[in-house]
Amino acid sequence: MKIFDIALKDLIRSLRNLFAIGMMLVAPILIVGLISMAFGGMNSGKVDLPELKVGVVNQDVPPAGLPSMGQAMVDLLNDPSVSSWLKPQAMPDETSARSAVDNQKIGLAVVIPAGFTASLLAGKGGSDLVLVQDPTLTVGPTVVKNMAGSLMDGVTGARLALGMVSQSPAADSKTLQNVSSQFQAWFTNFQRTLYHSPDTALAISAPAANGSTPASAAQNMMGLVMAGMMVFFAFYTGAYAMMSILREEEEGTLARLFTTPTGRTTILAGKFLAVFLMVIIQSLVLMGAGTVAFKIVWGAALPTALVVMAQVAAAGGLGVLLISLVKSSRQAGPVLGGALTGLGMLGGLFTVAVNMPAAFDMVTRATPQGWVMQGWRMVFTSGQMADVLVPCAVSIALGVVMFIIGARIFNRRFA
């Protein structure tokens, strides 16, 4: 019972500490929230682009009898399907368009040169579209660039197809016009569908993990980012919670505890229990917040539970070990900050969404954080128990070893 009394007392003290709450719960949620906002509505499968003002300079004069590709470009930019985010406006010339970009009145200038139609239909270069963008913008201009490229590809494809049709003995001008109209209609619809339809023409999704609903690649990435932050802050919590023993030593309450008829083993056990409980509570809260706020799908229950256990064991064990090596709470701050940040970086917690070289993967296995993160990766990719067993087993083993060493050091220190 006394073990639980001591653990409960430590829990209450931690939960009343605003700094601790901030670091354990608020900081990881905020960081993931910022990342989530930066990538927009990735988890819903939709991409909401920020509004982009586009200045259009159409200098194209098509050869007689031919449709204007410059006007086709203008029509594409003015299409209703992109009107929610694309705001084109006609500009008199390239100079004024460039000036408007420089002054950040528009985000992108599209300059359609004279002879654009002729060179495009002839399949020759020399009169290319000029795109001048605000360098601080990335997504919007890139989409417009892709739209323009897609148009030019489509025209080139149509030219080649019409060329082939025209060589047919049955081809006449009516047939060619028919083929051209059908192609144009198909192409326009395809463009709309590609970029702005709930049922996108091209969808990428991750294979469904066993027992869970299929998640998009974007959702899995958010899940990994959240897991990375959760692992980082879980290890911080493990160490911070164990710092209570240093604080009690400095407050004099630890000495007072030793004067009561409560054994030292009981006192230390109570403190260790508080560490593990803190990490468990933090993990559950962050997972809940991830589900509610960021729609993260955590995967099948059993593998997820096992990884959480491994996370708790490793974070608690490392916390006990690190604090056992430190003499005071003042010393603990910089030591923990440096050690945990360094190990977190080496463990790959900050590069979960990036394809790192294989050699780095080896480095991550040298840290307990790396093994826990590997467990989360398995949860989000295969979701199979067999795949999470090894990283979890290693994490738990590391946690136990670190705990035993740390506990022995504490026992000797307070003997």
Least Cβ distance, residue 266 to other proteins (angstroms): 9
Cβ 61 vs Cβ 114: under 8 Å = yes
Q: Does 269 bind other proteins (CB under 8 A)?
A: no
What is the C-alpha separation between 277 and 8, in angstroms, rounded?
Answer: 9
Of these, 126, 163, 214, 263, which contacts other proteins (CB under 8 A)? Answer: 263
Closer residue to other proteins, CB minimum distance, 126 or 263: 263
CA distances (Å), 182 to each of 75, 158, 161, 261, 311, in order? Answer: 17, 10, 12, 91, 59
Q: Are 32 and 87 in contact (CB under 8 A)?
A: no
Selected from 38, 261, 292, 355, the binder of other proteins by CB under 8 A is 261
Interaction of residue 329 with other proteins, rule CB under 8 A: no
Considering the rule CB under 8 A, would residue 415 count as an interface residue with other proteins?
yes
Residues 15-34 as x/- pattern, contact with other proteins by CB under 8 A: -xx-----------------
Q: How far apart are alpha carbons 322 and 238 in whole angstroms?
A: 10
Residue-wise DSSP of 76-91: HHT-GGGTTTEEEEE-
Q: Does 193 bind other proteins (CB under 8 A)?
A: no
Judge whether 373 and 291 are in contact, CB under 8 Å: no
Angle at the Cα of 392 (from 390 to 394), degrees rounded to 5?
A: 70
Amino acid letter, 338: G
Among the candidate windows 145-153, 250-258, 296-304, 322-330, which touches other proteins by CB under 8 A? Answer: 250-258
Residue 413 in contact with other proteins, rule: CB under 8 A: no
**H runs (alpha helix) in 198-263:** 217-242, 244-251, 253-259
Stretches 182-190, 249-257, 289-297, 321-329: which one binds other proteins (CB under 8 A)? 249-257
Q: How far is the CB of 17 from other proteins (least distance, A)?
A: 7
Applying CB under 8 A, does 178 fall inside the site for other proteins?
no
To other proteins, the closest distance from the beta carbon of 254 in angstroms equals 9
Among 207, 251, 331, 342, binds other proteins (CB under 8 A): 251
**38, 252, 292, 412: which one binds other proteins (CB under 8 A):** 252
Going across the sheet that includes 86-90, the strands are: 86-90, 52-58, 108-112, 130-133
Q: Is 258 in the site for other proteins (CB under 8 A)?
A: yes
Q: How far apart are the C-alpha atoms of 181 and 179, rounded to whole Å? A: 6
**d(Cα 182, Cα 288) in Å, to the nearest integer?**
51
**Which residue in 245, 257, 297, 332 binds other proteins (CB under 8 A)?**
257
- Closer of 190 and 258 to other proteins (Cβ): 258
Binding residues for other proteins (CB under 8 A):
1-2, 5, 9, 12-13, 16-17, 251-253, 255-263, 415
